[in-house]
Amino acid sequence: MIGVFDSGIGGLRLLDKLRQRWPQEDFVYLADQAHVPYGSLDRDTLLDLLQLNLNWLEKQGADRIVVACNTASATGIARRYRGQAQIVEIISKTCEQIPASTAKILVLATPFTAQSHRYQQVLARQLPQAEVKEVGLSCLAFMIEHLCPKQEIETYLKGELNAYQNGFDLAVLACTHFPFARDQFAKVLGIPLIDSESIALEAPAQPGQGTLRIATTGSVELLARQLRGLMNWDVPCEQIQIEV
């Protein structure tokens, strides 16, 4: 079984891609919506929450867990997790998609991820010749979680990214929420976009039965609306309790 974790609904598109690739694999998705935004939490509290969330996924049978949340990945949870499941963090996997010839990279992330400079650190090893600019977008994940109209999102991006519209070879959408606004980013920036949805993962060792569970620590009613509004999915959700 593969577990997919995110602080909210950002990882749903990645989940969808993985299910399309391996339709017979079993998946369990957990959104820690009771504790968003993760960027407002201190590092120790965030690490404690991540341990508990990933442990819950492992107890459901997940032997491999994709941490789709960039903010969570920026804490280094992949090497800190105290459990048996294999943890796949999203940042390194996303950077692997960037062409070796890229000279100037714009990384668009949550403020926590941008301030951690985790993308800059990974890219310094992978593409030492590249110039990397990290920009934190403080409102976008919230706007997407709350199903804001596309025009409002485009207006927000124009205001935030006006200074970065020229001089970059590509932009990394370094938050799993951001691909929901991919069209708006494309209109504003007009350059190639890289995100986490096409990351390379090894195939499961053995197929499952194609089951899917979706859980949240927040409101199941809100998650159900988000699933319908963003993914056109009408699937049952369950609520669980995770408290530090």
Interacting residues of 48 by C-beta distance below 8 A, sequence separation 6+: 244
Q: HSE on the CB side for 36, CA within 13 Å?
A: 25
Q: To 10 degrees, the CA torsion angle through 111, 113, 117, 123?
A: -130
CATH topology (fold) of 2-90+199-239: Rossmann fold (3.40.50)
The CATH code of the domain at 93-196 is 3.40.50.1860
Digit-by-digit pLDDT tens for the chain (244 residues) are 999 999 999 899 999 999 999 999 999 999 999 988 787 778 889 999 999 999 999 999 999 999 999 989 988 898 899 999 999 988 998 999 999 999 999 999 999 899 999 999 999 999 999 999 999 998 998 899 888 999 999 999 999 999 898 889 999 999 989 999 999 999 999 999 999 887 877 878 777 899 999 999 999 999 999 999 989 999 999 999 987 7
- Provide the sign of the torsion angle of the four alpha carbons 185, 187, 190, 191, taken in this order: positive
Q: What residues does each domain of the chain span? A: 2-90+199-239, 93-196
What radius of gyration, in Å, describes the C-alpha atoms of the chain? Answer: 17
Sign of the CA dihedral running 124, 127, 133, 137:
negative
d(CA 16, CA 179): 13
CA distances from 239 to 29, 163, 167, 219, 232 (A): 12, 42, 45, 7, 20
Q: Tokens representing 14?
A: 């990645």
Positions marked catalytic: 69, 175
> Would you say the CATH fold of 93-196 matches that of 2-90+199-239?
yes
